[in-house]
Every structure is written in C-alpha cells, then in structure tokens.
C-alpha cells in the first residue's frame, strides 16, 4: 500500500462519508431477494452489493462466516467481492473476528493482511480474548502492509458485558483494549491503524476514548435500533472517527440495485449531521 490505513480511511471518509455497510448474505436474506441458498445465489448477492454500494460508500464489511458456510466456492465468492469492491473504490473491512496465539495468529494474519493473499482486505476485525498481546502478528503485519485491524472492545451482545466490563487492574477489560490500541497508534498521522469495535447500542460506555487516535467501528446502526442520537450518546456530542455500520436496514432494499444504492445514500446523508469526520 502506498499510504497507511489511517490515511486511506481518512481520505475515504472525507470523500464518501463515514457509513460502513455490512454485506451479510444470511439464508433468510438470500430468500428475500429471490436467490437460492447456493454458491451461485451467494455470488449474485455479493456482486449486486458491489454494483450498488462499492462506488458510493467508504467501507464495505463482508461477514466472512456467511461465505465460509458454502465451503471453497463461498470463499472464492468472498475473494471476488474483496477484489471488485476495492477496485470500485471502497475500503473492505473483512469481519472475521479472529484471535489466537503464536504461529496460528501469524497464519491468520498472512491470510487476511499479507500482500498477495487472495483474501487480503484493507482491514479485519480481531478478538482479543487471549490478550491484546496475542494479536501482535496481525497488528504488526497490518502496519507493515498499510492495512488496519479493529479489535473488539465493547460489543452490543448482552453476553459481552460480563467479560468486557469486568474490572482488571483497576480498569475495565474494555478500557484496557482502548489503552492498548492507543499505545499502538501513538504518533501516527492522521490516524493509527488499530481501531476498536464498540457497539452503537451499548448506551453509556464509561470508556475514555480521548487518546485512541484511531477509528471506531460502531455496529448496530439502523435495523438493530441505533440512531444518530445514540451515536452522540455513546461517543460524545461530536463523535469523530466513528464508522456506523448497518446491514439489514440497507440490504432489505435489494435486489434492486437502484433501491439498494438509494437506501445507502439516505443513511449516509443522515449521518452528515453527526460530525463523525
């Protein structure tokens, strides 16, 4: 990459706004689009999303599991989606939530973050349950290749709070993730390559995000109930560098390309008032 992930993301958001659209081809949605739950239906879904959205939004976020469910044919569709979405100008944040140790984590990093890998995206999501330090192979490789990582910090699923809000060493586990990410981003310009995942529906976070110097992926915007007002409530009155993520609220307008694109643009315009840049 010719520029850092932080620089590329900043440019993309300045040109296209902060909206991230999830590409989640679960079977019920394929059915609603009149598509079979097969690799061929999956491909039609993925390419329709690329046609409608990749030229308009800053970030597309395919959920890897829905592609992996079809085996090697599904992974091939995911590879094509990544390549074509990036060619159309969108950044691709691959939602894989990987987290492991040692050589296994290094192998995941090579799969998703190494130059030349057919699954290499602009960024990936990572799970830090084995400790933030265990993610080092991915964090380091992402920095070297101009890519990014988004580490789970405070998620919106109710089960997450028992772990993420637990106290460890006088701070919550979630705050520890914030602090670790901030340390990795120190000195980067305009933003560091380590982002966080903080659900848009979590309410009060009790997190000090002031020193993060990185982006925040905020799932739950739209069909899951989060609004522009919730973004301000969770991230402050002028929540900068937040990427609200929506999938069902937009994808339900498919398979018509024009309707799908129009839904994304309406949501993108609704975010313009939130000062997310």
Annotated catalytic sites, by residue? 97
* Cα separation, 193 vs 183, whole angstroms: 11
Q: Give the Cβ contact number of residue 167 at 10 Å.
A: 10
Residues linked to residue 149 through DSSP beta bridges, in sequence order = 124, 194
Q: From 155, 200, 212, select the one nearest 6 (Cα to Cα).
A: 212
Who's near 237: CB < 8 A, 6+ residues apart?
A: none
Residues linked to residue 219 through DSSP beta bridges, in sequence order = 245
* Cα separation, 245 vs 217, whole angstroms: 7
* Cα separation, 135 vs 172, whole angstroms: 19
Strand 171-172 relative to strand 167-168: parallel, antiparallel, unpaired? antiparallel
Q: Is the dihedral of CA 257, 246, 93, 17 positive or negative?
A: positive
* Cα separation, 76 vs 237, whole angstroms: 42
């Amino acid at each position: 990459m010719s520029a850092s992930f932080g620089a590329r993301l900043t440019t993309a958001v300045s040109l296209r706004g902060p909206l991230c659209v999830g590409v989640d081809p679960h079977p019920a949605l394929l059915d609603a689009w009149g598509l079979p739950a097969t690799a061929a239906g999956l491909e039609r879904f993925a390419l329709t999303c690329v046609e409608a959205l990749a030229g308009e939004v800053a970030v597309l976020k395919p959920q890897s599991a829905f592609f992996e469910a079809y085996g090697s044919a599904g992974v091939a569709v995911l590879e094509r989606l990544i390549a074509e979405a990036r060619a159309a100008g969108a950044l691709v944040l691959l939602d894989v939530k990987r987290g492991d140790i040692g050589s296994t984590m290094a192998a995941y990093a090579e799969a998703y973050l190494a130059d030349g890998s057919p699954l290499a995206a602009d960024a990936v999501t990572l799970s830090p349950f084995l400790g933030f330090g265990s993610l080092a192979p991915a964090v380091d490789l992402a920095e070297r290749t101009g890519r990014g990582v988004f580490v789970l910090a405070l998620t919106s699923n109710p089960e997450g709070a028992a772990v993420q809000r637990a106290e460890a060493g006088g701070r919550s586990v979630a705050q520890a993730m914030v602090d670790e990410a901030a340390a990795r981003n120190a000195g980067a310009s305009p933003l560091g390559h380590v982002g966080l995942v903080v659900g848009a529906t979590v309410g009060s976070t009790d997190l000090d995000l002031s020193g993060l110097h990185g982006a925040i992926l905020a799932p739950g915007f739209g069909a899951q109930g989060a609004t522009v007002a919730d973004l301000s409530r969770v991230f402050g009155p002028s929540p900068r560098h937040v990427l609200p993520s929506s999938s069902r609220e937009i994808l339900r307008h498919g398979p018509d390309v024009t309707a799908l694109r129009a839904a994304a643009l309406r949501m993108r315009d609704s975010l313009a008032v939130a000062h997310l840049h």
